[in-house]
Amino acid sequence: MTVVVAARRSPIGTAGRGLRALLAHELAAPVLAAVHDDAARTGLLGADGAARSPGDVVLGSCTGPGGNLARVSALAAGLGTAVPGLTVDRQCGSGLAAILTAHQAITAGDTDYVLAGGVESASTAPHRAHRPGAAPSRDNVAAQPYARAPFAPPGFPDPDMGPAADDLAAARSVSRVRQDAYAAASHAKALTAQAAGTFDRELVPLPDLARDDRPRRLDVAILAKMRPAFTSGGSVTAATASPISDGASAVALVSDAAWSATGAPGVGRVPGLRIVAGAVVGCDPALPGWGAVPAIEAVLARARRTVSEVAVIEIVEAFAAQVLATTDALGLDPLGADSGRVCPDGGALALGHPWGASGAVAVTRLFSTLVVGGHPAGTLGLAAAAIGGGMGIAIVVEVVR
């Protein structure tokens, strides 16, 4: 097993705003350096913690510039030339996949300390084009730019995420009224948390942006007047879809043996989140937003737990419809009794959705809420994301002290 002993994130900026001038590695490097420093201060890295380097850096990213972004970021963070890097792409689940990959490496005995997370700079992501003569068009004559790579090959559904969210809302009977209410609630939670300084401990301020720029007060009466954003007659609007964003997040993971050696239970041990189980699943590519449901079901089964036993659930809020379809399937009421359990300080609708980082942001939020927030040992948290192409990813963690 492995234990998350530190977790940080950058402010999340709406694409084209405060973080628009920073390249992906420039977002990731200060976050990696900060979380490494946090881990060093725990004493888990030895008496001279700053000299102890991680065995690897694993970062998720969807639209990065290539060149092994994790390695570039590790070097930029000043971690030393001996620290390697691995970049993973599981689309919106990339940051969470990076953490599970690091967990697997530690569990296998390859290393006992890894930094893992995700980063996305939508503002500086490169434009892509098919080479001349190789464009996938009927006449095959010229280079063609494209907005995104396919999530699925020909013969399979390959919807953009917005129309897919409309389809999911229709398939699962998620009303426009509930979507508007959920988006407004997410922003209200985030504003409350921001005003209370809840995010301060986890944030690594960056040039031109010291805090998340997205949260604002939303009036459901005004939201009700907004037009569908993606399909005629659809229910998803610009307010109930997460914004394209820039940001980074990372956590420090150590082996359970290294953590256990620091002292007796509750006496001298560094508080953290032990990874109990992880799961990645596939689902119908036509309804990719559904992927979080089977992923959560799978990870709870592996952890031998039920959703009623989980204190805090962080679901990446790509769309309000997506979250509501997931919580409906799990028997949760995020607009009522479970408001304090599901994204209790708001989620991607309010903070922003830097695709490759969002899964790691969810784990960082769990760390702040459960560990920094003082929850007792044994308290469970869950993070999950639906993924383009029809996949889902989830993780169950428990507080250790």
Catalytic residues, by residue number, are 92, 353
Q: Are 248 and 31 in contact (CB under 8 A)?
A: yes
What are the φ and ψ backbone dihedral angles of 214, each rounded to 5 degrees? -90, -40
Taking phi first (over 0 means left), then psi (-120 to 50 degrees means alpha), and beta for anything else, what does residue 155 get? left
What are the φ and ψ backbone dihedral angles of 350, each rounded to 5 degrees? -95, -40
- DSSP three-state, residue 195: helix
Q: Are 4 and 253 in contact (CB under 8 A)?
A: yes
State the Cα torsion 356-357-360-361 to the nearest 10°: -140
**Separation between Cα atoms, residue 314 and residue 380, nearest integer Å:** 12
Write out the two tokens for 363. Answer: 């784990």
With a CB cutoff of 8 Å and minimum separation 6, the contacts of 153 are: none
Write out the two tokens for 56. Answer: 């690897």
Q: CA–CA distance from 386 to each of 12, 14, 114, 335 (Å)? A: 20, 21, 25, 20
Q: What is the DSSP string of 165-179?
A: HHHHHHHTT--HHHH
3-state helix, strand, coil in the chain (%, to 5): 35, 25, 45
Q: Are 37 and 286 in contact (CB under 8 A)?
A: no
